[in-house]
Structure 1
Amino acid sequence: MSHHLKHGTIMGGVVVTPDLDAALADYQGRLGLDLVETGPLAADLAASWGCPQSAGAPYAMLRPQSGAHCFIRLVEQADHPDFKPTRTYGWAAYELTVKDVFGWPDRLEGSGFRVIGPPKEIAGLPYFIPMQVLGRGDEMIYLNEVAMDTPSSDLPRAMSLTDHIFIVILAAQDRMASVDWYRHALRLDEGDSYTLEYSMINAAFAKPAGTQTVITMVQNERLPILEIDDYPPEATIRPAHAGMLPPGNAMVTLAVESFDDLDVEFLTEPVLRHGDLYMGNMAATVRGPSGELIELIETGLS
């Protein structure tokens, strides 16, 4: 296993896609993730996410070949006509740690992944080399090859060609309000902030070259968890089909030590869940300050 569970560990992400079989060809066939579960999305699970109308949707769960306890769940759902990636609040991207990032554009040629940011080094951020792709459901996936740890966090080297999600990116209505919420509600730590020319945001909002964005990391001690991004005032609430999962990067699952330590309001009461992801632990879902869905699994690990 290439990472160990502790409070705040990213245990998975949910992706909404218009064609589950085609998405599986991408995630399983191209990214090389292992398929561990398929079937209709259980009604009680969909209700716990606040998305009862997603019940029964075709569903699949995958994990990296490294064996890391981090799962990407694909849920088939019709596209929303008003959704455009990188223009709405909520989960903007999942960052996966990978090997050989400069080889990934060729590996993805002819797949459902569209390369929108080829691999490149970022001035002021020497810690990893990122690239960005969009999937069939306009979900954003970053494929990052780690070069070194940051001064304040430990970044995971990939133990398989594609490994686990190690940072999730939040497009925030109010960056510092979101940072404060994750600190107080989920008992996480504020990390470093960076100011950079964020090409994805600038392109999405037609900002002039050189426009700077501030991002703040949220972590547990040296474990990186979230990158919270300032978004321009032109950003909007994410559109969604009534009672269904939000489009794109739909939800993030985090491990927490104890529900008793949190200051949150669950969408439904916590319940005991089984299977590869939940491992017989209590789970429940909350909604963050930018409308993002966060499923919490009570692991008892600090």
Structure 2
Amino acid sequence: MKAGAIVGGVVTVPDLDAALADYRDLLGLSLVEENTVGEALAESWGCQGNAASRMATLRPTSGSHCFLRLVEQPMPPGYRPTTTYGWNSFEITVEDVFDWPDRLAGSGFEVVGPPREIPGLPYFVAMQVVGTGGEMIYLNESRADTPTNDMPKAKSPVDHLFIVILGTPDRAASVAWYRDRLGFDEGASYVIEYTMINRAFGLPAGTTSGLTMIQNGRMPIVEIDDYPPQASVRPRRDGKLPPGNALVSLAVADLDRCDCAWIVPPQVHGAPLYRGRRSATTVGAAGELVELVEIAEA
């Protein structure tokens, strides 16, 4: 595992049992642990109000060292996904994206973007779904490497997170944060007609948005999206995680080389995600929670 690898994502859900029916029983992720967040981990995230919250940790059957954690908490009234700053989607690599729309019928997932092949983009086919906690998940079938990135092939029907998407009011500031504070590479930038953003904000067809990739060499990590002026700060109850796509865990080689203000100084947690290594959480330029896990590169 190399620096920048996505080792986990946290999603908040209003009903953990219902979410497990979707992620474990339908998507086929393996349940690793089911417990509570606990005081130490909640404090490290700056979310002491979640200490007693139920949490389930899942992992792909491929064995990839990437964990999706579901934390039970009520949704704030009026929360709408992909309209606020912070983590707005997790991209997961899958084997056959066209197999999923029918299989998701009747589940807690709402298909908001069915899979479609895009002329001139032979590298991947993606679809978008929203879960019961307002979390946006992209299911992405990788077919070939792009000119600038290596696209991971799934080794199980639903495999690991490989790109996380950040909405920001200042793309340049967010890019600089990941580049200068964490030492990742600034990749290519694009201006595109971003259907998901236009749909979320009711923008007319033809409206374009800018995005920049953050990567380590050819490995993609974070897609940083410019959000329009209509975007807002994510509503959040005191002491609780942000709703929806709440937190991302990234591997780093050495926490002491990261130029970050830690919520709590680095410490060791016992869960399988951490492998006995130190971790600490900080807040990015768009207000996003970023947990950094010190994992020796191999």
User: What TM-score results when the alignment is normalised by the length of structure 2?
Assistant: 0.98
2:95 is the counterpart of 1:95: no
SS at match of 2:274: coil
User: What percentage of residue pairs aligned between the two structures are identical?
Assistant: 57
Is contact 1:169-1:228 (8 Å) kept? yes
Q: CA deviation at 1:268?
A: 0.4
Is contact 2:41-2:269 (8 Å) kept? no
**Cα distance in 1 between the residues matched to 2:177 and 2:186:** 10
What residue is the counterpart of 1:295 in the other structure? 291
Is contact 1:124-1:196 (8 Å) kept? no
Q: Map residues 202-221 of structure 1 onto 2, 5 A cutoff.
A: 202-221=198-217
2:166 is the counterpart of 1:139: no
What residue is the counterpart of 1:194 in the other structure? 190
What residue is the counterpart of 1:72 in the other structure? 68
Q: CA deviation at 1:91?
A: 0.1
**Cα distance in 2 between the residues matched to 1:257 and 1:109:** 42
Q: CA deviation at 1:124?
A: 5.2
What residue is the counterpart of 1:32 in the other structure? 28
**Cα distance in 2 between the residues matched to 1:279 and 1:186:** 21
**Cα distance in 2 between the residues matched to 1:17 and 1:155:** 29
2:239 is the counterpart of 1:240: no
**Cα distance in 2 between the residues matched to 1:158 and 1:233:** 36
Q: CA deviation at 1:83?
A: 1.6
Q: 1:168-214, CA deviations, whole angstroms, 9 ceiling, x for partnerless residues?
A: 00001111110111000110001111222111100111111111111
**Cα distance in 2 between the residues matched to 1:173 and 1:289:** 9
Match of 1:169 among 165, 168, 174: 165
Match of 1:250 among 246, 253, 257: 246
Q: CA deviation at 1:300?
A: 2.6
**Cα distance in 1 between the residues matched to 2:206 and 2:121:** 16
**Cα distance in 1 between the residues matched to 2:40 and 2:108:** 31
What residue is the counterpart of 1:282 in the other structure? 278
What residue is the counterpart of 1:271 in the other structure? 267
In structure 2, stretches of 5+ residues that fail to align are none
**Cα distance in 1 between the residues matched to 2:271 and 2:236:** 28
Match of 2:47 among 40, 48, 51: 51
Q: CA deviation at 1:123?
A: 5.0
Q: 1:14-72, CA deviations, whole angstroms, 9 ceiling, x for partnerless residues?
A: 00000000000000011100000001111110010000011110110000010000000
Deviates more, 1:118-127 or 1:251-260: 118-127
Is contact 1:258-1:298 (8 Å) kept? yes
SS at match of 1:232: coil
Q: 1:66-115, CA deviations, whole angstroms, 9 ceiling, x for partnerless residues?
A: 00000000000011113211110000000000011111101111100000
- The amino acid across from 1:248 in the alignment is G
**Cα distance in 2 between the residues matched to 1:121 and 1:159:** 21
**Cα distance in 2 between the residues matched to 1:76 and 1:124:** 41
**Cα distance in 1 between the residues matched to 2:271 and 2:87:** 25
**Cα distance in 1 between the residues matched to 2:8 and 2:160:** 8
**Cα distance in 2 between the residues matched to 1:146 and 1:269:** 38
Is contact 2:255-2:279 (8 Å) kept? no
What residue is the counterpart of 2:146 in the other structure? 150
What residue is the counterpart of 1:84 in the other structure? 80
**Cα distance in 2 between the residues matched to 1:100 and 1:279:** 31
In structure 1, stretches of 5+ residues that fail to align are none
Q: Map residues 12-31 of structure 1 onto 2, 5 A cutoff.
A: 12-31=8-27
Deviates more, 1:136-145 or 1:195-204: 195-204
SS at match of 1:285: strand
SS at match of 2:83: coil
- The amino acid across from 2:155 in the alignment is M
User: What TM-score results when the alignment is normalised by the length of structure 1?
Assistant: 0.97
Q: 1:139-189, CA deviations, whole angstroms, 9 ceiling, x for partnerless residues?
A: 000000011111111010000000000000000111111011100011000
- The amino acid across from 1:174 in the alignment is D
